Amino acid sequence: MNARGAKLLASSRAAELRSGAKLPPLSHGGGLGRGLPAPERYLPDAYWEDRARRFAARGSGLAAVCSYGMPEVYNRMIHSSQRRALEPWLHVKPGDRVLDVGCGVGRWSSMLAARGALVTGMDLSPTMINEASRRAETKGVASRCRFLVQDLAMLDAGETFELVLAVTVLQHILDPGALRAAVDRMAAHLAPGGRMVLLEAAPLELASRCDTTVFRARQRSEYLDLSSRAGLELRASGGVDPAPFKTWLLPHLRRMPRPVATFATALVTLLSAPIDIVFGRRAVHRSWHAVIVLERTRGA
């Protein structure tokens, strides 16, 4: 980690967490990988730090950022479907500056740095950031990465970027004011001609029955309204996971015993995979998650 990241790591919030502030019970992040109980009260920094401490260093680290109640193969399937959906928008030229907000263990940061981009990854959780930094080192891309501990609602990376990326981050910012501030701060970090790429749970129709204490299934139009307020316009959108089975299952998961929920989630994922692989990107309207590609229409 660079000097700036290290300084931010010492922020009072991080210190509070390190000092053993009470963490919520083990839970999951919502979205595709559900099946375990969410905490009654969501304290974002404590929740994500807890997840990171438990899972970020294990194996691929996907359990920290996808679902920790499910086997590794499940998380790898989620990762593949997200990667397939994002791939058309992740072309970077060597030297392009990329900001990966809510970077988690840095799976996209390292990938883009390996393609030659100069990547800034930022996250609320100090342990996620440590892990992203360690993984970038292991992959030999640390010289093209820097990592910062920050809250997205107050993002200040000190420069602008050709690509600003958020993968399943905004869906975990529940407070409307913080969400608005996050989108504004991301937009303010776009370089002229740059693009912002979001992958979030964003169904076309309102699906609040799928919400949990850590996750909001916002309607796609809400992200578009917020982006438009921030001076961004939609350039393209893509689907991720149009198979309908999991949307049928999601509202019932929290009432199921854990083994049943895990089995049902795995089954639904297996059934969905062929549909999502074949139609994923194109079936934009039916997709539960969406890739939203935005560009600036007016000055920051």
Ligand X SMILES: C[S@@+](CC[C@H](N)C(=O)[O-])C[C@H]1O[C@@H](n2cnc3c(N)ncnc32)[C@H](O)[C@@H]1O
Interface residue list for ligand X (CB under 6 A):
29, 44, 48, 65, 102-104, 107-108, 123-125, 128, 151-153, 167-169, 172-173
Smallest separation (angstroms) from ligand X to the CB of 199:
8
Shorter beta-carbon distance to ligand X: residue 79 or 286: 79
Q: Count CB atoms within 10 A of the CB of residue 193.
A: 8
Go through 84-116 and write b for each residue having 16 or more CB atoms within 10 A of its CB, e for each that does not: ebbeebbebeeebbbbbbbbbbbbbbbbbbebe
Of 217, 184, 232, 228, nearest in space to 290 by CA: 217
Residue 160 beta carbon to ligand X: minimum distance, rounded to whole angstroms: 18
Nearer of residues 8 and 190 to ligand X, judged by Cβ: 8
How many helices (DSSP H) and strands (DSSP E) are in the chain? Answer: 11, 7
Residue 46 or 190 having the CB closest to ligand X: 46
With residue 179 as reference, give the H or E element that holds it: helix 176-188
What DSSP state is assigned to residue 39? P
| CB of residue 231 to ligand X, shortest distance in Å | 21
Element (DSSP H or E) covering residue 109: helix 107-114
Rounded Cα distance, 127 and 50, in Å: 9
Which residue, chain included where needed, has tokens 């890739």? 291
Identity of the residue, 123 or 211, whose beta carbon is nearer to ligand X in the bound complex: 123
Our CB check for ligand X shows the closer of 52 and 243 to be 52
Burial class (CB in 10 A: 0-12, 13-18, 19+), 73: exposed
CB hemisphere CA count around 57 (13 angstroms): 8
Cβ nearer to ligand X, comparing 106 with 285: 106
Min CB(170)–ligand X separation in Å: 8
Shortest distance, position 298 Cβ to ligand X, whole Å: 25
Q: Choose between 10 and 271: whose C-beta lies nearer to ligand X.
A: 10
Report the alpha-carbon distance of residue 120 to residue 158 in Å, rounded.
Answer: 10
In whole angstroms, give the CA distance from residue 119 to residue 113: 6
**Closer residue to ligand X, CB minimum distance, 25 or 274:** 25
Nearest approach, Cβ of 54 to ligand X (angstroms)?
13
Smallest separation (angstroms) from ligand X to the CB of 299: 25
